[in-house]
């Protein structure tokens, strides 16, 4: 479990996150949603310690994150960020094997079991055929899948992902989020696509103007009356076969007027 209480961050004089509290629970996927500039990525960075809040605290399984040794923190938290580091000369297989680092002592070399775990993680994201390729030569979507494989190889109890579907075609968007949803971890995912959030997240935190606008189950948060003022767009919700589908239309568009009539 990750519990953040009263965390804040500002860039210069501009507060991005101000006194925010969130909880990510074991075995569930928590989605961070909100418009551009609402602080989703900043909050995620606070949750895994890349940024340190001047207020409040972040607890991971009851222990304060700031007090955990780096190796222990890496055993608990695996992170996939948007910056891909494409300049590396490592092959894909070598990069994924780096995920085993937190489980090895300082001078210990990866063993057969570590290589097998890395290979299985590449297979899980459909990237086995990329193993011998140089990471820097991959497309954006291929890099994203490899970075997720590295995070899986880390075998952490918590997985945090910043826009994991970025650069991916629709097939891999769904395959990756389906994979995340079915892992036995506590997962936190930043997502722009509300329909993907509806399908694969258990809980949502909606951010806006530096704070939490709404938090709860996906069913509770994806309420058009809650979403429309934050996103500034007309939203119609359809519940079909137990799934939530959102339709969007600019406010004031004739189609909205016909619907309202």
Q: Does the pLDDT of residue 179 top 90, yes or no?
A: no
The pLDDT, as a whole number, for residue 227 is: 97
Strands 77-80, 158-162: pairing kind: parallel
Residue limits of CATH 3.40.50.300 in the chain: 2-222
- Beta-carbon contacts of 197 under 8 Å, excluding residues fewer than 6 positions away, are 31, 33, 191, 204, 218, 222
Angle at CA 207, nearest 5°, toward 202 and 213? 90
At which residue do the structure tokens 């992902």 appear?
A: 161
pLDDT of residue 7: 96
Terminal CA-CA length for the chain = 46
The C-alpha atoms of residue 69 and residue 181 are separated, in whole angstroms, by 28
* Segment 20-36, tens digit of pLDDT: 999 999 999 999 999 99
Residues 6+ apart with CB under 8 A from 243: 198, 199
pLDDT tens for each residue of 140-165: 888 888 998 999 999 999 999 999 98
Q: How far apart, in Å, are the Cα atoms of 56 and each of 52, 178, 204, 215?
A: 10, 33, 21, 19
Which residue is associated with the tokens 């955990």?
A: 68
* pLDDT value of position 242: 86
- Res. 256: pLDDT tops 60: no
Mean pLDDT highest for which of 170-184, 186-200, 242-256?
A: 186-200
pLDDT digits (tens, 9 = 90+) for 52-74: 998 999 999 999 999 999 999 99
Select from 249, 231, 234 the least CA-distant residue to 37. Answer: 231
pLDDT digits (tens, 9 = 90+) for 77-133: 999 987 555 567 899 999 999 999 999 988 889 899 999 999 999 998 889 999 999
| CA distance linking residue 186 with residue 158, whole number of Å | 5
Class of CATH domain 2-222: alpha beta
pLDDT digits (tens, 9 = 90+) for 202-244: 999 999 987 999 999 999 999 999 999 999 999 999 999 889 9
């Amino acid at each position: 479990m990750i519990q953040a209480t009263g965390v804040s961050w500002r860039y210069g004089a501009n507060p991005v996150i101000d006194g925010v509290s969130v909880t990510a629970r074991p075995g569930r996927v928590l989605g961070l949603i909100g418009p551009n500039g609402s602080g989703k990525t900043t909050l995620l960075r606070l949750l895994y310690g890349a940024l340190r809040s001047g207020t409040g605290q972040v607890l991971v399984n009851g222990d304060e994150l700031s007090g955990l040794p780096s190796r222990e923190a890496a055993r608990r938290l695996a992170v996939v960020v948007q910056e891909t580091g494409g300049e590396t000369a490592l092959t894909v297989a070598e990069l994924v094997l780096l995920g085993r680092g937190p489980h090895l002592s300082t001078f210990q070399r990866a063993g057969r079991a570590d290589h097998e775990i890395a290979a299985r993680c590449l297979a899980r994201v459909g990237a086995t055929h990329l193993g011998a390729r140089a990471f820097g030569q991959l497309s954006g979507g291929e890099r994203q899948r490899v970075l997720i494989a590295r995070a899986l190889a880390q075998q952490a109890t918590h997985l945090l992902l910043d826009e994991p579907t970025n650069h991916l075609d629709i097939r891999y968007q769904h395959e990756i989020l389906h994979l995340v949803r079915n892992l036995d971890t506590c997962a936190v995912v930043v997502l722009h696509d509300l329909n993907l959030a509806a399908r694969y997240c258990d809980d949502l935190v909606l951010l806006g103007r530096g704070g939490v606008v709404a938090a709860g189950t996906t069913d509770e948060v994806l309420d058009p009356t809650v979403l429309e003022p934050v996103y500034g767009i007309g939203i119609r919700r359809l519940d079909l076969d137990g799934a939530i589908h959102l339709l969007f239309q600019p406010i004031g568009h004739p189609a909205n007027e016909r619907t309202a009539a």
